[in-house]
Amino acid sequence: MQFRPDRRHILTTLASLPWAAALLPAGAAADPLADSGLIALPGKRPLIKRTFRPPNFETPPLALRDAFTANDAFFVRYHLAVIPDTAAHDWRLRVGGASAQSPLELSLSDLKHKFAHVSVTAVNQCAGCRRGLFTPRVPGVLWEHGAIGNAVWTGVRLRDLLDHAGIRADAVEVVFNGDDAGVLAATPRFLKSLPVDRARDEHTLVAFEMNGRPLPHWNGAPARLVVPGWAGTYWMKHLSSIRIEPQAFDGFWMKSAYRVPANAFPIQRVAAQETADTWPVTSLLINSLITSHRAAERLPLGKPAQLRGWAWDGGSGVASVSVSVNGGGWRDAALGKDLGPFAWRAFEFPLDTATAGHMTALVRAAGRDGARQPEALTPNPSGYYHNAIQRVELEVA
């Protein structure tokens, strides 16, 4: 018979966690599940709570206005409830597998001193970002816009580690494991895999710094995988082992979870992981985010106003951002500095506030590869890849 804990059991379990009290706002009742308001995890500013255990916390809209999302504001995403807190000097990374010629074990000091350091600016976006905006509703964490952030990630190239271990000719995929775990032993470990060529891409890193600071605990310390241009599900936190294997990995989080209907999205293909019906989630899609205004915000009549935000894709780079106001034609927005192909890029567009009334502004980004945001989201059972044209309703008064 399946065990179904009641509310009292859940709260008792939560209270036993060493960091649980820090999740509650000052003066809050002992019920951390009472609402989905702002809660400050240790080392984080107050974030939007989506789930408490496992911890899933979303970046508030105001914190997404900066070019580089602050470490203490960056969203938190976990699938499993037991979160490790490994001291840097105790951490070890094992690199091996059936297709490794010379397995090795590395300390954080080894990682920092034996391999060249590399930095990449990249968007980390949960595949389910905006799932909470799907209609009809789908299961999963009901993220809105804040399961995303842009940062400078510093570490070493994964391929340098793989080459140091030696890759046999029969290698097909590289499998990654982190130290987070489920409460029950039967819970599948969160393991993900990459095809060898993507693992050896020059931009794929094992990172130990974020925005020039040590990687935060809630974002994967002491070291995590960074896969620029691909969904955050591959960005393994608290990385503990890397296996080079001669066959496609068939664990739960590859063969069953993070799948979309075949041919539904223009994403990078991984033939070894495809079936006739579904493909794995892989690369990010062209997308945009309005950050300057909230829905129903009032714009002062006659006062200059600028619509601002970010656009990004899976690595081809942003070619243009267009804006349509009140059903008018599409006009180009001004683009900000190019921070790199995997980073988001700023856009800005002047709004005409000379006339009072309702204003609807639509934003559509296009990539250098020709991809363009669609008018409507593409339905799929798990609520992935919401990249429909952005819109905001405003009032000029």
The yes-or-no verdict on residue 311 having pLDDT over 70 is: yes
pLDDT tens figures, 356-368? 999 999 999 999 9
Per domain, the residue ranges of the chain are 7-63, 88-280, 287-396
Q: pLDDT tier at 11 (50, 70, 90 boundaries)? A: very low
CA separation for the pair 147, 126 (Å, rounded): 6
Whole-Å CA distances, 273 to 184, 281, 315: 27, 10, 22
| Fold category of 88-280 in CATH | Sulfite Oxidase; Chain A, domain 2 (3.90.420)
Q: In this model, does residue 61 exceed pLDDT 70?
A: yes
On average, the pLDDT of the chain sits at: 92
pLDDT band at 7 (very low <50, low <70, confident <90, very high): very low
241-255 residue pLDDT tens: 999 999 999 999 999
287-396: CATH, from 3.30.9.10, 3.40.605.10, 2.130.10.10, 2.60.40.650: 2.60.40.650
Phi, psi at 323, each rounded to 5°: -130, 140
Average pLDDT over residues 335-342: 98
pLDDT of residue 9: 35
User: Residue 37 — very low, low, confident or very high, per pLDDT cuts 50/70/90?
Assistant: confident
β-bridge partners, 150: 123
What is d(CA 186, CA 184) in angstroms, rounded to the nearest whole number? 5
pLDDT above 70 (res 300) = yes
The mean per-residue pLDDT over the stretch 69-92 comes to 97
pLDDT given at position 10: 34
Residue 222 has pLDDT above 60, yes or no: yes
Q: Which residue has the higher pLDDT, 131 or 21?
A: 131
pLDDT at 293: 96
Reported confidence tier of residue 316, pLDDT bands at 50, 70, 90: very high
pLDDT digits 0-9 by tens, 84-121:
999 999 999 999 999 999 999 999 999 999 999 999 99
pLDDT in tens, 169-208: 999 999 999 999 999 999 999 999 999 999 999 999 999 9
